[in-house]
A and B are shown apart, each in its own frame.
Chain A
Amino acid sequence: NHTQSKKPFPVLSLGYDHVRLPFEISLWVLLASLMKLGFHLIPRLSSIVPESCLLIVVGLLVGGLIKLVGEIPPVLESKIFFLYLLPPIILDAGYFLPIRQFTENLGTILMFAVVGTLWNAFFVGGLLYGVCQLEGHRLVTVDLLSCLLFGSIISAVDPVAVLAVFEEIHINELLHILVFGESLLNDAVTVVLYHLFEEYSSVGSITVMDVFLGIVCFLVVSLGGIVVGAIYGILAAFTSRFTSHTRVIEPLFVFVYSYMAYLSAEVFHLSGIMALIACGAVMRPYVEANISHKSHTTIKYFLKMWSSVSDTLIFIFLGVSTVAGPHEWNWTFVMATLIFCLVARVLGVVGLTFVINKFRIIKLTSKDQFIIAYGGLRGAIAFSLVYLLKTEHFPMRNMFLTAIITVIFFTVFVQGMTIRPLVDLLAVKKKQETKRSINEEIHTQFLDHLLTGIEDICGHYGHHHWKDKLNRFNKKYVKKCLIAGERSKEPQLIAFYHKMEMKQAIELVESGGGAKLP
């Protein structure tokens, strides 16, 4: 009966196939982590080259190596990107969003994100179509709708690339929130334009009705995303009310609820990015009041770790995919794309700032405009969106892919590497000392009340008036439902004081000063 010969070691055997997937994922993550570690160990390297550039180079090298060995380098799959790599970065950004600066500059951010992206998409798309018509032979097959689709993909500023580069240069809060806010909010525009043009190009014609429906779609996608996010945010806050006996799962609720917000929004093709941001921003004040200090630290570090690893992986994979991806280089198209992108960005920023400055209290200077225009980096979202296109519908997909990669490389390498010296050269204000003092907290609140009062006396219902209304509503109704026990009545000032005390006490103990205490 023993047809199979007995092996000398009956249990031992080589079964790589069934661990292949998790093993390779672990290897990639390990590579990403080691690279990150390595760049910070080499002295002065990280002050010259932004990390994202180095990561792309590593990706290129690894991709080349894999190709040399004879394997096919893996490509940054769109599904993996949108479902697993993007959410941690966006959640990290949304959870730690500086809400005050964000709401104070909301008008400007929305203007850049919505009008600016629309302008870029149509400007680049339209001009590219013109170039394709003029160029002749190969390019003449590219129709207007494909060009507009391409324009809408290429014109969205990428939150991942922007965050990665801007984190390092420590630019002042205003400029940071303007570029960063734009990159987060333009997702709604990009999603709508992308799906609309994709659909229209399979139908082939657009009517006035379609344009109108497009506008409605945009509102639904952005507001719907926010609503979905807010609902999950409130649910997370409400759940965290009851976790005082099961502290170990507190961090999980934050991650799972926000991830579900993202997925639920994506189910309906709403803007998942906006859902995540809304979810993070809504839940944070309530969750922080409910959960233990340790859980909060865990949440903070997990978010930071995930987003930083995702970020690293994305850039490495961008490099690897560049080696692997099917390419179709077309000088005219690539150069035209690059130039139009730059021109559209500069024109858009200058034009929009001219309008915005009529309404802003603190005007945007020409330096600010330059940094905003120059900081408009493109990244992996654009790549993944093109990668999703089907070759049957878009025969020029490979050429699009090459053009997008060129633009990403140009913005990340050239703009990313020169933005730091430029910021120094222009003497743009850097971020000030970030440590929050108790005086600052008290006087800020004092000024808020004062300005609310003055606005009410003037009969002018502005920013402070509405913020005051919202605060009162929150204090009167929402906090009671979402925060458990005593802390629901605790004013912000007291909470801030506790947090500061705690931090200083820990620092004191860690520095060994505790021994000197009486």
Chain B
Amino acid sequence: MGSRASSLLREEDIEEIKKQTGFSHSQITRLYSRFHSLDKGENGALSREDFQRIPELAINPLGDRIINAFFPEGEDQVNFRGFMRTLAHFRPVEDNEKNKDPTSGEPLNSRTNKLFFAFQLYDLDRDDKISRDELLQVLRMMVGVNISDEQLGSIADRTIQEADTNGDMCISFSEFTKVMPGKAIDITADLQNGA
């Protein structure tokens, strides 16, 4: 299965994805075989339904938001390149790339890009601010339905109050990065041993 799937992937494609995302050869072929097995329509691209068929993702409170994050504006198909570009945000930062020359541009898995990815999952209308409503929606997804609106509202107010420094009652990206827990900044799914 794995070898058949990877044979569909041309060597030059792999090279290009490698350059773009920083994944290793074996990680790319492994993720390609996963991509292939998710692709029920066998047309080289994933639709929203393909994602929704993953059982664990269906019960994840943020499932829909995560799925949407894979799709560029207005499209309902994602090809392997796009799939990899999204996943690249979660690639662990390796020591030898931290001190690489800063002129080569930000890699997708830089700290800022990681945080921006998370930020965009909150920020539905893409106005680069988390409003009270957007925060409430996320809180509601995470705590479930049996918590009262007022209680959630007061948590949301408190959260914004704590993070908001310029007094616009919203959390901007720069405010967001400041209140982020120092430890959790490494949002690095453990793809390490995926060879």
Interface set of A (CB-CB < 8 Å, partner B): 173, 359, 361-363, 432, 437-440, 442-447, 449-460, 462-465, 468, 472, 489, 491, 493-494, 497
Q: Which of A173, A442, A489 contacts B183 (CB under 8 A)?
A: A173
Contact A450 B190 (CB under 8 A): no
Contact A450 B62 (CB under 8 A): yes
Tell me the complex Cα distance, A420–B151, Å.
45
Tell me the complex Cα distance, A489–B147, Å.
9
Contact A457 B62 (CB under 8 A): no
Q: Given A439-B162, A439-B163, A452-B60, is A457 in contact with B191 using a C-beta cutoff of 8 Å?
A: no
List the B side residues contacting A445 at CB < 8 Å. Answer: 142
Q: Which of A173, A438, A456, A472 contacts B158 (CB under 8 A)?
A: A438
Q: Which of A359, A440, A472, A493 contacts B155 (CB under 8 A)?
A: A493
List the A side residues contacting B51 at CB < 8 Å. Answer: 457
List the B side residues contacting A468 at CB < 8 Å. Answer: 56, 60
List the B side residues contacting A362 at CB < 8 Å. Answer: 186
Tell me the complex Cα distance, A464–B192, Å.
14
List the B side residues contacting A363 at CB < 8 Å. Answer: 95
Interface set of B (CB-CB < 8 Å, partner A): 31, 34, 37-38, 51, 54, 56-57, 59-63, 66, 87, 90, 92, 95, 118, 121-122, 138-139, 142-144, 146-147, 151, 155, 158-159, 162-163, 179-184, 186-194
A442-B138, A472-B59 known, 11 other contacts, Cβ within 8 Å: A361-B186, A361-B190, A442-B155, A444-B184, A446-B122, A447-B184, A450-B66, A451-B90, A451-B187, A453-B66, A457-B38
If over half of A's interface residues share one DSSP class (helix, strand or loop), that class is named, otherwise mixed; here it is helix
Tell me the complex Cα distance, A246–B174, Å.
50
Q: Given A453-B66, A493-B139, is A437 in contact with B179 using a C-beta cutoff of 8 Å?
A: yes
Q: Which of B90, B159, B187 contacts A442 (CB under 8 A)?
A: B159
List the B side residues contacting A493 at CB < 8 Å. Answer: 139, 142-143, 155
List the B side residues contacting A173 at CB < 8 Å. Answer: 183
- Looking at the assembled complex, report how far the CB atom of B139 sits from the nearest CB atom of chain A, in whole angstroms: 7
List the A side residues contacting B63 at CB < 8 Å. Answer: 453
List the A side residues contacting B95 at CB < 8 Å. Answer: 363
Contact A444 B66 (CB under 8 A): no
List the A side residues contacting B194 at CB < 8 Å. Answer: 458, 460
> What are 16 sample pairs from A and B whose C-beta atoms fall under 8 A apart?
A361-B188, A437-B179, A439-B163, A442-B155, A442-B159, A446-B62, A446-B118, A452-B56, A453-B62, A454-B90, A455-B189, A458-B87, A458-B191, A460-B189, A462-B190, A489-B146
Tell me the complex Cα distance, A456–B158, Å.
32
Q: Write the chain B residue with the least CB distance to A472.
A: B59
Sorted nearest first, the 10 A-B pairs with minimum C-beta distance are A439-B179, A462-B190, A456-B56, A453-B66, A440-B181, A491-B143, A459-B34, A361-B92, A449-B62, A454-B189
Contact B181 A444 (CB under 8 A): yes
Contact A437 B162 (CB under 8 A): yes
Q: Which of A359, A432, A489 contacts B193 (CB under 8 A)?
A: A359
Tell me the complex Cα distance, A446–B180, Å.
11
Q: Write the chain A residue with the least CB distance to B187.
A: A447
- Looking at the assembled complex, report how far the CB atom of A98 sits from the nearest CB atom of chain B, in whole angstroms: 11
Q: Which of B121, B155, B186 contacts A497 (CB under 8 A)?
A: B155
- Looking at the assembled complex, report how far the CB atom of A368 sits from the nearest CB atom of chain B, in whole angstroms: 12
Contact B183 A491 (CB under 8 A): no
Tell me the complex Cα distance, A317–B182, Å.
41
Tell me the complex Cα distance, A313–B138, Å.
51
List the A side residues contacting B37 at CB < 8 Å. Answer: 459
List the A side residues contacting B146 at CB < 8 Å. Answer: 489
List the A side residues contacting B158 at CB < 8 Å. Answer: 438, 497
Contact A449 B187 (CB under 8 A): no
Q: Which of B34, B38, B187, B192 contacts A359 (CB under 8 A)?
A: B192
Tell me the complex Cα distance, A182–B159, Å.
37
Contact B92 A454 (CB under 8 A): no
Q: Which of A446, A462, A463 contacts B138 (CB under 8 A)?
A: A446
- Looking at the assembled complex, report how far the CB atom of B161 sits from the nearest CB atom of chain A, in whole angstroms: 9
Q: Given A450-B118, A455-B189, is A443 in contact with B184 using a C-beta cutoff of 8 Å?
A: yes
Q: Which of B60, B92, B121, B182 contacts A456 (CB under 8 A)?
A: B60
Contact B62 A460 (CB under 8 A): no
Q: Write the chain A residue with the least CB distance to B142.
A: A445
Q: Given A173-B183, A443-B118, A465-B56, is A455 in contact with B190 using a C-beta cutoff of 8 Å?
A: yes
Tell me the complex Cα distance, A501–B163, Å.
16
